[in-house]
Amino acid sequence: MKHPVVVGLQYGDEGKGKITDSLAKQAEWVIRFNGGSNAGHTLWLNGQKLVTHSVPSGVLYSHVKNFIGAGCVIHPLALKKELEELAGAGAKLGSDRLLIDSRAHLTLPIHLALDGAREAGASGIGTTKKGIGPTYTSKTDRSGIRVAQLDAPDLEERIRFLLEVFNPILKAAGQTESTLKENLEVIRVAQQLIGPHVSREATPFYDIAKKSRCVLEGAQGILLDIDHGTYPYVTSSNTIPAFASIGTPFPSSRIGRILGVAKAYLTRVGQGPMPTELHDETGQRIREKGHEFGATTGRPRRTGWLDLDELRLSVRLSDCSGIVLTKSDILSGEAKVAARIDGKLVEFEGWSSVTEGEALHPKMETFVQAIEKHVGIPVVALGTGADRAAMFWRRPIDDFWSDDVST
């Protein structure tokens, strides 16, 4: 059996949560492999809006087990708030339903302070200020604190070392240094909260992947990949599906269909190039209609037309076999829509609604075919509204867990 991976093909916020949620219905495991509380996946439960950050999007199904992989970083206070909100909405996650890899790294107050200090200066890039970059920095320079160390006898010593390495940076930036006390306070929360959920298995999915249906859920988008994105305006983890295997770990030969999620237009939060950005009232209208305000930070998202040159690159980087085009309904009613193709903005006639009868609206179909022609793979489905069920399957995929990954 091979397992699907869901990734965003743009700059995050493509609506991956909804797609993962719809696959999760048929799955036993939903697995996160990168990022941390910088992500914001919007889900709907009984008409109530829920935003998950670190927790995988399988939380709404009581039969699904959720796994936070080794490639993720965990902000204990944010996770606590998230779990409380989920419990309040009726999705209580016991240790049977949420597992956290002991190799995942912890985001502590020092990391948040470092992210804040960098963002306050001229070299800020518009991060979510959730301490993501500094947590991955401490991971790679081997001063980070892993979940596994929460009950280690030398934990306090490790934290002292972390502070020794990074406090001089805060000091040089004229910021208050982070104290042992404040970091230990968060550690205590983590010990209580994370303790029961820890998975210490070296290869948790080696056997599971042979028999149980898994969905691997990427955070952020391909163009924010630390190696292949628009550096330095990127996040600090790998977002391409190859990382699904590393950041879990998940047996690489068991990775099957890769589904890329892209919005019918483009949004970006934070700095970085965006050739199709709209600074006019059309951009404003799309932002309002599409509720394009950060799920994590509340920041208004920069809005622009779909960039098919970038999308083609993302399709190649992710090697996805099908695109799910989300939020096409937000563009309904626009007289003209546009997309960047070979460096030029090409105009298309707009559509009044995404579907007409049983089929796509002919103008929508023309737009979709232009996407397919330029990027070279099919648009398999379209999101037609906020509702969980609002999807139009253009090429129904019978079995997402099949070994045949041609679409």
In whole angstroms, how close is the CB of 41 to ligand IMP at the nearest point? 8
User: What contacts 99, CB < 8 A, 6 or more positions away?
Assistant: 65, 66, 67, 68, 197, 198, 199, 204
Quick check: 344 and 366 in contact, CB under 8 A? Answer: no
24 touches ligand IMP (CB under 6 A)? no
* Nearest one of 381, 254, 259 to 321, comparing CA atoms: 259
327 touches ligand IMP (CB under 6 A)? no
Amino acid of residue 1: M
Cβ proximity to ligand IMP, 126 vs 385, nearer residue: 126
How far from 135 is each of 257, 323, 392, 398, 405, CA to CA, in Å? 31, 32, 39, 40, 35
15 touches ligand IMP (CB under 6 A)? no
115 labelled catalytic: no
How far from 159 is each of 105, 155, 257, CA to CA, in Å? 13, 6, 41
Residue nearest to ligand IMP (CB): 270
> 370: burial class by Cβ within 10 Å (0-12, 13-18, 19+)?
middle
53 touches ligand IMP (CB under 6 A)? no
279 labelled catalytic: no
For ligand IMP, which residue of 126, 300, 378, 385 counts as binding (CB under 6 A)? 126
243 touches ligand IMP (CB under 6 A)? no
226 touches ligand IMP (CB under 6 A)? no
269 touches ligand IMP (CB under 6 A)? yes
In whole angstroms, how close is the CB of 336 to ligand IMP at the nearest point? 27
Could you identify the residue written with the tokens 């950050």?
A: 53
Looking from the CA of 348 toward its CB, the CA atoms found within 13 Å total: 25
270 touches ligand IMP (CB under 6 A)? yes
Stretch that binds ligand IMP, among 162-170, 232-240, 244-252, 354-362 (CB under 6 A): 232-240
Stretch that binds ligand IMP, among 81-89, 124-132, 153-161, 340-348 (CB under 6 A): 124-132
Q: For the chain, how many residues are written?
A: 407
Helices (H), 8-75: 16-24
In whole angstroms, how close is the CB of 204 to ligand IMP at the nearest point? 25
**Rounded to whole angstroms, how far apart are CA atoms 237 and 136?**
7
Provide the binding-site residues for ligand IMP, judged by CB under 6 A.
11-13, 38-40, 125-128, 130, 132-133, 219-220, 224, 233, 235-236, 269-270
Active site residues: 13, 41
